Structure 1
Amino acid sequence: MSLGNTSHPGRSGSEELVPSRYALRVGEIEVLVVSDGVLSLPGAMLGHNADPAVRTAWLNDMFLPPDVLEWALNVVVVRSGGRTILIDAGMGAEFPDLPRAGRTVPRLEAAGIDLASVTDVVLTHMHMDHVGGLLVDGVRERLRPDLRIHVAAAETRFWESPDFSHVSMPPGFPDALRRTAKRFLHEYQSQLRTFEEKQEVAPGVLVTRTGGHTPGHSVVRLASGSDQLTFAGDAVFQVGFEHPDWYNGFEHDPEEAARVRVRLLRELAANREWLVATHLPFPSVCHVAVDGDVFRWVPGPWDY
């Protein structure tokens, strides 16, 4: 199966009224961005250290309501060197109060991707909206027994005794995050392949620890020929282009997360490479431009 055949309407499993998958190529590497759905969160989550009036003005300028922010949830499938790699796994089905998220597994199936064909999973970090899809009932039994799950060693150590002292999350989220990470580590411990700073998962697929959002947060860099794309996980949010110094409520070390964000955005702008991130509006494929002291998000044209 070629991932390039899965983004077009009218095919089996594409009964949804809006697209939920988008295919592109990075040189010889096939890439499929899949929407796991959306997550409704308080507007303050996008910058809890910002002046509320400035934050409200930004939301208004973006034609967004001041009190609720709809966060996109994106995962990526990559095929390179005979390996099929799932980058992050979405929210899963454990949270009935979040009914519009957790669509990764059925949308992979609609795209013709058999879970048994996945050879590797890369986790940017272990928040529940990145590992939950692997905890859906029946999923583990459908995955291949030699599946390799790549995650930074600092991330697994962090979740043994996580620190929530610098976050600003809605009530209930810290407990849910702890519970989900603990369950994930218990169920998939034998398949984890941890790394310290960098690991090549497949030809042209390099996962690199950044820290910041969580101690083991990582990004995935794809490179083939002259083409490059970075999946930034939660290092970049929509507001982070204009206000990279705003602290996201889910950042465990917000000061370091802001430094990581600025450093990464500068690098992406200099390299003129593609960017995809978990919480940028689907399909998230964009470039980064530098505009004075801030950055500018330049959405990529849809390629039909």
Structure 2
Amino acid sequence: MNQMISHAQKETSMNVHDATHFDRARSDELVPSRYALRVGEIDVMVISDGVLTPPAESMATNADPAVRGAWLDDMFLSRDAFDWALNEVVVRSGDQTILIDSGLGVEYPDFPRAGQLGSRLDAAGIDLGSVTDVVLTHMHFDHVGGLLVDGVKERLRPDLRIHVAAAEVKFWGAPDFSRTAMPPALADLARGASRQFLDEYRNQLRIFEEQHEVAPGVVVSRTGGHTPGHSVVRLASGGDRLMFAGDAIFPVSFDHPEWHNGFEHDPEEATRVRIRLMRELVETGAWLVATHMPFPSIGRVAAAGDLFRWVPTWWDY
């Protein structure tokens, strides 16, 4: 099966057929798990870490159950649980290879369809040893877990730089889940994963306060909301733009940006961040990628009255 890559619109220089710096994929998997494009001179590849299946109510904890159920019905989704994509991004800018988030890892039997980042990086021809930088949008277990898999640290460069907001590191020193709707088991899982991550990688952290340029055209900025140090990554090159929004934007956010996600540590601030970022995307026309948008999670945001509309990219077969 030929590798499926995105179609670039003619009015932009974002042309995936020119994204030649990634190695040729080596995989015969039936379900595509990588999506390549270019943002000016920056190579980008979205990698699927698989699928989570959270309870449906976790996406809208402050919604009327009947209204939430009607939205799920309209989207042909189960009212009990639904497939939630888990996406990461690999960026190559200049001589740097940057992994944005690392997925779930393999220690969580309740999520058997996720935690596939390692094998899918291999299938895409991306060597962990080539990664010079990791950017963490935040330190929830489905974003740091891939770095905690046995044998992964040994494959990484000893001079690997891991970029994370100072507020995020401080929060996970003594996390407070009082404003989330996380089940106790997941809260315990989050505490354990963050503690293990900090124990193993603290010496490689490159902490920033509000904003930091990781590589030419690659800037990470703290937003807060979802977690105190939650951050987004903006790419800009040759007039093209892309935002990796992490957990700031979800599939339901376009119709109901006011709905609170159960994992948000400051739900009201997360709502303000979500609306601000979507307005920015409408104004700039930048491409959006987000952790839990359906793979390949490449699209644009358009205004729809007082709300928003998701416009996914066209695939080129």
TM-score bin (small chain) = over 0.9
Residue type matched to 2:219 in 1? L
Matched, 1:22 2:35: yes
The answer to whether the Cα contact below 8 Å between 2:23 and 2:126 also exists between their aligned partners in 1 is: no
Q: Give the match for residue 118 of structure 1.
A: 131
Give the counterpart of 2:270 among 257, 264, 270.
Answer: 257
Residue type matched to 2:183 in 1? P
Q: Could you tell me how far apart the structure 2 residues matched to 1:21 and 1:105 are?
A: 12
Deviation at 1:15, TM superposition (A): 1.9
Q: Could you tell me how far apart the structure 1 residues matched to 2:47 and 2:120 are?
A: 7
Once the two structures are superposed, what CA deviation does each residue of 1:260-285 show, in whole Å capped at 9, x if it has no partner? 00000000000011000000000000
Q: Could you tell me how far apart the structure 2 residues matched to 1:218 and 1:229 are?
A: 14
Matched, 1:184 2:182: no
Q: Give the match for residue 166 of structure 1.
A: 179
Deviation at 1:94, TM superposition (A): 1.1
SS in 2 for 1:229: strand
Q: 1:179 to 1:264 in 2, by over 3 A?
A: same
Q: 1:3 to 1:145 in 2, by over 3 A?
A: farther
> 1:32-43 residue pairs with structure 2 within 5 A?
32-43=45-56
Residue type matched to 2:298 in 1? V
The answer to whether the Cα contact below 8 Å between 1:4 and 1:23 also exists between their aligned partners in 2 is: no
Q: Could you tell me how far apart the structure 2 residues matched to 1:75 and 1:228 are?
A: 17
Matched, 1:242 2:246: no
SS in 2 for 1:172: helix
Give the counterpart of 1:222 among 218, 221, 235.
Answer: 235
Q: Could you tell me how far apart the structure 2 residues matched to 1:141 and 1:205 are?
A: 26
Deviation at 1:6, TM superposition (A): 6.0
Deviation at 1:81, TM superposition (A): 1.3
Deviation at 1:97, TM superposition (A): 1.8
The answer to whether the Cα contact below 8 Å between 1:3 and 1:32 also exists between their aligned partners in 2 is: no
Residue type matched to 1:280 in 2? M
SS in 1 for 2:212: strand
Matched, 1:76 2:76: no
Q: Give the match for residue 66 of structure 1.
A: 79
SS in 2 for 1:41: coil
Deviation at 1:170, TM superposition (A): 2.9
Once the two structures are superposed, what CA deviation does each residue of 1:205-244 show, in whole Å capped at 9, x if it has no partner? 0000000000000000000011000000000000001100
Q: Could you tell me how far apart the structure 1 residues matched to 2:158 and 2:59 are?
A: 39
Number of aligned positions between the proteins? 300
Once the two structures are superposed, what CA deviation does each residue of 1:176-227 show, in whole Å capped at 9, x if it has no partner? 0000000000000000000000000000000000000000000000000110
Matched, 1:273 2:301: no
Q: Give the match for residue 12 of structure 2.
A: none
TM-score computed with the length of structure 1 as normaliser = 0.96
Q: 1:180 to 1:104 in 2, by over 3 A?
A: same
Q: Could you tell me how far apart the structure 2 residues matched to 1:128 and 1:74 are?
A: 14
Residue type matched to 2:293 in 1? L
What's the % identity of the aligned pairs? Answer: 68
Q: Give the match for residue 166 of structure 2.
A: 153
Q: 1:7 to 1:120 in 2, by over 3 A?
A: closer
Matched, 1:51 2:27: no
Unaligned runs of 5+ in 1: none
Unaligned runs of 5+ in 2: 1-17
Once the two structures are superposed, what CA deviation does each residue of 1:37-89 show, in whole Å capped at 9, x if it has no partner? 00011100110000000000000000101110211000000000110000000
The answer to whether the Cα contact below 8 Å between 2:35 and 2:45 also exists between their aligned partners in 1 is: yes
Give the counterpart of 1:141 among 154, 159, 165.
Answer: 154
Q: Could you tell me how far apart the structure 1 residues matched to 2:115 and 2:184 are?
A: 20
Residue type matched to 2:104 in 1? M
Q: Could you tell me how far apart the structure 2 residues matched to 1:237 and 1:35 are?
A: 16
| TM superposition outliers: structure 1 runs of 4+ over 2 Å | 2-8
TM-score computed with the length of structure 2 as normaliser = 0.93
